[in-house]
């Protein structure tokens, strides 16, 4: 009996020159091969300026909000993230995806209507994402993961090393208040700065400031990609 393929939406504006965008299809192919020969994974890029209120988001088993922000339409990206969060669909956010997952949560769960991304609204009263004290462009660093977290389970380790291409992170002025409810800090770098979050009560909602997909360019399966596909399989079944 032929089963319907797993469908994953890639939230973001595709650019063939972006390293992460080159890596993501390879990472998904590696993940599909690692699962089982009969696992068919299909992906579709969702340009943010085409994610309208009536976009057929229910057609997808999982969502990955990808790097390379600012997006053409921030609200389109937030709309898709909100759908994944509310409908319990597996979600992975990397780099810009991390930033916008945090922004969506702040606006729609915490009720911070004035929350903004400092990349596009640097003078906002509540700039939730602000420039990192040290830009992480082509940087590699160690990350300590909370034991028992989804991300630690995926890596099968509490200590990992990952790479970044990022200039913005959570504003320390709002971090404690941001993390008081379902959103949990699950990864910090060597300096103790926030690098990964998960959503408590959601089957798979993980966001990282680093870009795990880059490992695929070296032929390595990113553990979080395998975990995302596995979560999508569980959802579909």
Please classify residue 52 by burial: count the beta carbons closer than 10 Å to its beta carbon, then call 0-12 exposed, 13-18 middle and 19+ buried: exposed
Q: Indicate the Cα dihedral angle 72, 13, 107, 212, nearest 10°.
A: -140
- List of domains in the chain: 6-236 (3.40.50.880)
- H/E stretch holding 38 reads none
Q: How far apart are CA 204 and CA 210, in angstroms?
A: 18
The token duo for 210 is: 């680093």
How far is CA 127 from each of CA 38, 66, 166, rounded to the nearest angstrom? 46, 21, 17
Q: Are strands 6-11 and 126-145 parallel, antiparallel or unpaired?
A: unpaired
Q: Which pLDDT tens digit goes with each residue over 145-193?
A: 999 999 999 999 999 999 999 999 999 999 999 998 899 999 999 899 9
**pLDDT per residue of the chain (237 residues) written in tens, 0 to 9:** 447 899 999 999 999 999 999 999 999 999 888 765 567 899 999 999 999 999 999 999 999 999 999 999 999 999 999 999 999 999 999 999 999 999 999 999 999 999 999 999 999 999 999 999 877 888 899 999 999 999 999 999 999 999 999 999 999 999 999 998 899 999 999 899 999 999 999 999 999 999 999 999 999 999 999 999 999 999 988
For the entire predicted model, the pTM comes to 0.96
Q: How far apart are CA 190 and CA 37, in angstroms?
A: 39
Crossing angle (nearest 10°) for helices 96-108 and 74-86: 70
Crossing angle (nearest 10°) for helices 19-35 and 223-236: 60
């Amino acid at each position: 009996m032929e089963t319907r393929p797993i469908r994953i939406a890639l939230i973001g504006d595709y650019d063939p020159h972006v390293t992460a965008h080159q890596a993501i299809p390879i990472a998904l192919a590696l993940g599909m091969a690692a699962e089982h020969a009969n696992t068919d994974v299909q992906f579709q890029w969702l340009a943010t300026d085409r994610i309208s209120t009536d976009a057929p988001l229910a057609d997808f088993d999982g969502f990955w909000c990808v790097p390379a922000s600012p997006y053409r339409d921030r609200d389109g990206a937030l709309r898709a993230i909100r759908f994944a969060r509310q409908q319990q669909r597996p979600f992975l956010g990397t780099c810009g995806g991390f930033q916008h997952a945090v922004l969506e949560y702040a606006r729609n769960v915490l009720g911070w209507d004035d929350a903004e991304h400092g990349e596009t609204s640097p003078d906002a009263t509540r700039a939730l994402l602000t420039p990192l004290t040290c830009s992480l462009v082509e940087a590699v660093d160690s990350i300590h993961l909370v034991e028992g977290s989804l991300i630690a389970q995926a890596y099968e380790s509490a200590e990992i090393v990952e790479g970044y291409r990022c200039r913005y992170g959570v504003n320390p002025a709002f971090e404690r208040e941001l993390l008081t409810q379902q959103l949990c800090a699950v990864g910090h770098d060597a300096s103790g700065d926030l690098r990964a979050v998960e959503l408590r009560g959601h089957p798979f909602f993980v966001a990282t400031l680093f870009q795990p997909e880059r490992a695929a360019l070296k032929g390595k399966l990113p553990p979080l990609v395998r975990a995302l596909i596995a979560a999508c399989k569980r959802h579909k079944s």
